Amino acid sequence: MTSPANVAGREHLRLFCGLPLPDEALDRLVAWQQAELGDVGARPVSRDQLHVTLAFLGRRDAGEVAAVAAALRDAAAAAEPPLLQAVRYRETRSVGMVVLAEEAELAERLEALGVFERERRPWLPHVTVLRFRERPRLDPPPPDLGPVVPSDAALYNSVLRSTGAQYEVLESVALGG
């Protein structure tokens, strides 16, 4: 477990809960990015920024970080490490993502603790792999990551920069206690 990062001096943060990926899954994902996403005038997300987004919490007061981190610790301690598999590639207006088979246990626990509220549309656990200004309309097969079993969950801060969002881990906790 890591200690929360210092967020002093920031009034609001863009928080989300996610799962850091094991090294083997990262290696396969980066190889897939290079082979399938190629040179399409978009920016691939760098290896050190790849993770599974589970629950986007949105803009929160910096004073809420400790409570959200505590809720994540409680939810992660009770959650079994998930088995994730890539099922498809999907694009939104500004990002390309690999959608993963539904794994909702940790998100459900966060919701029960009052930290996360699902949107009306179905939430898709995903890994953002590409950023763009103009949608390239790609349709690659999903990467062959094999079964992925993350061991940790993390509370992230999404910092918007001109090159796209950068993710800072505020706290990392083991899944399943």
The pair of structure tokens assigned to 149 is 């079993």
Note whether 72 and 152 are within 8 A (CB).
no
Taking alpha carbons only, the member of 167, 177, 149, 170 closest to residue 46 is 167
Q: Does residue 51 form part of some domain?
A: yes
Q: Does residue 63 form part of some domain?
A: yes
Q: Does residue 1 form part of some domain?
A: no
Q: Is 69 helix (H, G, I), strand (E, B) or coil?
A: helix
Note whether 100 and 19 are within 8 A (CB).
no
The span from the CA of 126 to the CA of 18, in Å, is 9
Q: Does residue 4 form part of some domain?
A: no
DSSP tag of 148: B
Note whether 112 and 91 are within 8 A (CB).
no
Beta strands in 21-163 (DSSP E): 43-44, 51-61, 86-91, 95-100, 126-131, 152-161
Q: Does residue 151 form part of some domain?
A: yes
Q: Does residue 24 form part of some domain?
A: yes
Segments forming the whole domain that contains residue 61: 12-174
The pLDDT tens digits of the residues spanning 103-158 come to 556 677 777 777 777 666 666 789 999 999 899 999 999 999 988 999 999 999 99
The pLDDT tens digits of the residues spanning 4-25 come to 555 555 589 999 999 999 999 9
The pair of structure tokens assigned to 175 is 């899944």
How far CA 7 is from CA of 17, 34, 64, 111, 169, in Å, comes to 16, 35, 11, 24, 11
Domain count, the chain: 1
The pLDDT tens digits of the residues spanning 150-170 come to 999 999 999 988 877 899 999
The pLDDT tens digits of the residues spanning 61-78 come to 999 999 999 989 988 888
CB atoms within 10 A of CB 48: 9
Q: Considering the entire predicted model, what is its pTM?
A: 0.83
Q: Does residue 170 form part of some domain?
A: yes
Residue tagged 């459900």 (tokens): 108
Q: Does residue 2 form part of some domain?
A: no
Note whether 18 and 54 are within 8 A (CB).
yes
CATH number at residue 140: 3.90.1140.10
